[in-house]
Structures are given as structure tokens and as C-alpha cells.
Structure 1
């Protein structure tokens, strides 16, 4: 496999972000709270605003993974006020052809390091029940199931399991 590169998305990367986000929603519709149909209709300005963290007063780490110019992965770390002790992981996705190659683990490591630098004590995410590959990834990375199952999104029969990791454990 060619070497992959993880980088932080900036507002200038909005077209790249839009491309990989829509690709992830098409590929894995049962993994996200949003749907392809909801996000495909967003305006260019809305895509740009998502990455303009300063104007949104959002403490976040939007990451993209590329092999050459090809986007092959995505993940966001987000800290929501007022609970600044917890960082959340959203939009985690790796291209199906490249799963199992260490990309997702590298994304988790990057978000974990960022969260520790931000003073967080906990990483949190939610994983769709039945997505055993994702559950296994998160469990092997130190996440544990916690709390009640929640609906993936309004109207969905699918549920997600909240999971957390105490920071300081190995990823």
C-alpha cells in the first residue's frame, strides 16, 4: 500500500471535504446520523462554514486521510462546550478497499493526542450496532460500551452504542 497522509482540513479544503464526506455517506449510510440526501443539497457556503472553526467558535480537529491526492479517510474530533473534558469522534470513515491497513487506528491516535493536548479526560463516540468491524476496532483501541442504546437518527430502526475511552490508555 502507498503511504497515507493525515492532515487537518482547513476552510480552503471544503471541496475535498465535501467529496470525501459525500463518498462516506454513500458508502456507509448506516454509520452516520446524517444521510447522503441531507448533505448532498448543502450549498458551497455551508460546506465552507463547516470547516471555518474560528467563526463557529468550535474546538475541533477535522482530519482527512489521503494517498497521493486521493481522499481515503475522514474523522473529526470535537469538544463541545461546556463539557470541555470530553472529546467526541464523529464522521469516522475509511475507504472499504483500505480498511484493516491501520488508517482508522492512525486517525484514532491523532484525535486522542489532540484531545490530551486540549486537556480532555475522555474520548466518546457512538457505533452502529451490527457494525462488528468498527466495534472491534474501537474495543481493541480501548473504548468500552457505556450507556443506553440510542437511535442512529430520527426514524431509523438502527441503534448506536455509545462508547468511551479514558485518556491515558493505549490506542
Structure 2
């Protein structure tokens, strides 16, 4: 979709991020380790702090996809110390009305480019096994299952499959 634009979120975007994140948790409660009930109670300061990467000492790429000023997609690329050769994808979500339009592919592409430029060798994510569309999307994007299934969150019967994609970077 050529009208959809993605950009990096900044601390000043906290309200847009909050709205997108809460929408994602309401729309797809079985896709995330956190829940709407946990995050809706966060203070405005906590939402702002999440996007203050420098203060948090976090190497991350928080992306928002927008259409006509509305948040329609979200994804985070994160590199955790000390394993700086592995990037992780969190909070991947696209508005239901726009799924299948290339937004998720574009967000993954941006995170992959960022990870390569950061010297990463692979990207890891976890996908709920019952979400066949997401599993198929990640598989078709080059992600391969790795390791045993894990619980989505404590007390959940839902399982997630860790997946990894090797990047062309072998520095």
C-alpha cells in the first residue's frame, strides 16, 4: 500500500504508540506475551519511557505504520546485550482491515535492514502456533522454527514457536 508510511517512534509519539499497542492487544490477545489488562493501566510516564531508548540504554527500532494519520501497524526490532549478533522482533501487529497488503512485510524488511546495518547475523521472533496466518507469513519470509515450543505467557495453554532468520551479514 503506497499510502501507508512507516517511521521510527520517538518519545513524543507516546500517545500514538499507546493507542496502537492497546489496539493490538485488544485485536489479537493470543499473539502477545503481555495483555491489554496489564498495559491499559500503565501511566503516561511509563508509555513515554518505553520510547526513550537512550534513557533505557536500549538498542531498538520501534516502528509505526500510518495511513492518513492513523496507526495501522506496529513492530519493534531490539538487540539485547550482550548478544549483539541477534536482533529480536516484538509487538508485530497490523490492523485487521489492512492485513495482506504488504505492511507486515515492509516492517520486517525495515527491521532486517536495520539489523544487518547493526552487524546482526540473525533475527529471532516467537509466533503463537495457533495463528496459522502469522506462522505462514513468517515461514514465507524466511524464518525457520528453532528450539522447543514455549508457553505464550505464564498460565497460558497457548504455545509459541521460536523462529529465526539468518541474515546475509557474516561480519
User: Normalising TM by the smaller chain, what interval?
Assistant: over 0.9
Alpha-carbon offset, residue 163 of structure 1:
0.1
What TM-score comes out, normalization by structure 1 length?
0.97
Distance in 2 (alpha carbons) for counterparts of 1:76 and 1:60:
7
Is the Cα–Cα contact under 8 Å of residues 8 and 61 in structure 1 kept in the other structure?
A: yes
Distance in 2 (alpha carbons) for counterparts of 1:39 and 1:167:
33
Alpha-carbon offset, residue 168 of structure 1:
2.0
Instruction: Structure 1: give runs of 5+ residues left out of the alignment.
Output: none
Distance in 2 (alpha carbons) for counterparts of 1:79 and 1:71:
24
Alpha-carbon offset, residue 149 of structure 1:
0.3
Distance in 1 (alpha carbons) for counterparts of 2:60 and 2:86:
12
What TM-score comes out, normalization by structure 2 length?
0.97
1:46-71 residue CA offsets vs partner (Å, 9 max, x unmatched): 00000000000000000000001011
Distance in 2 (alpha carbons) for counterparts of 1:49 and 1:84:
23
| 1:1-171 matched pairs, under 5 angstroms | 3-168=3-168
RMSD: 1.0
Distance in 1 (alpha carbons) for counterparts of 2:108 and 2:45:
29
Distance in 2 (alpha carbons) for counterparts of 1:165 and 1:71:
27
Alpha-carbon offset, residue 73 of structure 1:
0.3
Instruction: Structure 2: give runs of 5+ residues left out of the alignment.
Output: none
Distance in 2 (alpha carbons) for counterparts of 1:168 and 1:70:
34
SS in 2 for 1:14: helix
Distance in 2 (alpha carbons) for counterparts of 1:132 and 1:113:
26
